Chains A and B, each alone.
Chain A
Amino acid sequence: MQPTGSAAEYWKANLRLLGILMAIWFAVSYVFGIMLVDVLNKIHLGGYPLGFWFAQQGSIYTFVILIFVYARQMNKLDLKFDVHED
């Protein structure tokens, strides 16, 4: 059985948001930090080779931002689909 109306749409909107955020999560760590590290290391950010910076600094900052963006967007969705607490 499938849920009807707003609950189903709420879940869909949630999954869409997850998809976008997970793509960024994957890009900053696996792609920039590991797969493309040699290419990016040719560029420098101050004294940091860029790929190395993503692996040891940049990915972590991005993760923090991702979670807060997620929390904010989900709180908005909760209200929009009227599934928020109290």
Chain B
Amino acid sequence: MNVLAGGPVIPNFGSGSSCEQTNGWWCTDWLSAHWGDTLQPALVQHVELSLIAVGIGFAFSLVLALAGYRFRLLDPPIGVVADFLYTIPSLALFQLLVPLTGLTVTTVEIALVSYTLLILYRNIVAGLSGVPADALEAARGMGFTRLQTFVRVELPLAVPAIVAGLRIAVVSTISIATVAAFVIPQGLGRPIFIALNQDLFKTEILAAGGLAIALALVADGLLVLAQRALTPWSRA
């Protein structure tokens, strides 16, 4: 079952070491030999794909959230669309987009961005809505303009919810990006697919899969630290 878009890069078992020939669980010689040409590029591509997706997704969601927060009427429809996008299985969304935008990075990015919309939109709106009304009133009473209130009061207080949403979005994006290998030969999904096609080459699967998980956990951890750093008042 060849499900890969693009040919395999790894030569067959036959010419490999004894570990590879017996399909051992963890062939260190394969790992050191192919870190540079397989795993590292895949990792880098994966990070790139995810960052671009979250970056664009965040920008979009911010604009939409500001609109939905400012003009409450817009909130339900935007929410419904984002909800709907989320229920489409990633695999299916990728495939639906391919005829429109081809086997390109664009396709993948559109899909990844769509998935971040729900989480980020909802969290940003919730964060802004959760700002205590007394704080807002005090600001107005002190003479802040609308913009000043937003920048100095609402936004900082909404940061925890926003960062929490970012955290989920980043980790989900890293996770879904593994499926991108269905469409383009990029990301950590690719080595996994290749290995699946080669009678389940265990080392490669474990290595690529492990890297994906590790990447997600590291990103999560970093964002937790960022969250703590940005909200010193909640550490009390």
The judgment on whether A and B are partners is no
Q: Which residues of A does B touch, CB under 8 Å?
A: none
Q: Which residues of B does A touch, CB under 8 Å?
A: none
